[in-house]
């Protein structure tokens, strides 16, 4: 009986260890998902800023280099925004076609979320610049 008791105790300890490991892994995964959602929920500008900060960290830039890097990045992004703004009418046509295919398959709850996401996406798109009538 003492041998059976030792085996039972070992199984209980192994089970408790496995359970703790599983709960720890699940908790860490849940936390990472929540942090990722919070980090990426700020919109395109927040994502750009986070990517810039990570690039500067990886490059290990000095203060002077950071200043040049950021100024050049800001100039490039401003020019890129103008290009995207000129393409906005065409992008709207593409998104309308997408919208017509997606809306019929969404439930009312999903449609409400989809509309909120679309409104946010449209607000973040650069405005068409004056004089961009090609």
Would you kindly state where each structural domain of the chain is located, as residue ranges?
A: 1-38
User: What's the chain's average pLDDT?
Assistant: 82
Give CA angle at 90 (88, 93), nearest 5°: 110
d(CA 133, CA 54): 37
For the segment 80-126, what is each residue's pLDDT rounded down to a tens digit?
888 888 888 888 888 899 999 999 999 999 999 999 888 887 777 76
Q: Report pLDDT for 132.
A: 57
Query: What digits encode the pLDDT tens for the residues 40-58?
Result: 666 677 777 888 888 888 8
Model pLDDT, residue 130: 64
Conformational region of residue 60, where left means phi above 0, alpha means psi within -120 to 50, and beta covers everything else: left
Q: How much is the pLDDT for 97? A: 93
Q: Report pTM.
A: 0.47
**Per-residue DSSP letters for 26-71?**
HHHHHHHHHHHHHHHTT-HHHHHHHHHHHHHHHHT--HHHHHHHHH
* pLDDT over 60 (residue 134): no
Q: Is the pLDDT of residue 38 over 80?
A: no
């Amino acid at each position: 009986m003492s041998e059976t008791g030792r085996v039972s105790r070992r199984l209980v300890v192994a089970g408790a260890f496995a359970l703790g490991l599983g709960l720890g892994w699940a908790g860490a995964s849940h936390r990472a998902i929540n942090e990722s959602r919070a980090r990426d929920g700020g919109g395109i500008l927040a994502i750009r800023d986070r990517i810039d900060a990570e690039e500067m960290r990886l490059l290990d830039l000095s203060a002077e280099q950071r200043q040049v890097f950021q100024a050049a990045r800001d100039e490039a992004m401003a020019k890129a925004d103008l290009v995207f703004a000129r393409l906005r009418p065409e992008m709207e046509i593409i998104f309308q076609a997408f919208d017509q295919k997606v809306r019929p398959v969404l439930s009312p709850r999903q449609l409400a979320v989809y509309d909120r996401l679309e409104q946010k996406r449209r607000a973040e798109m650069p405005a068409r610049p004056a004089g961009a009538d090609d």
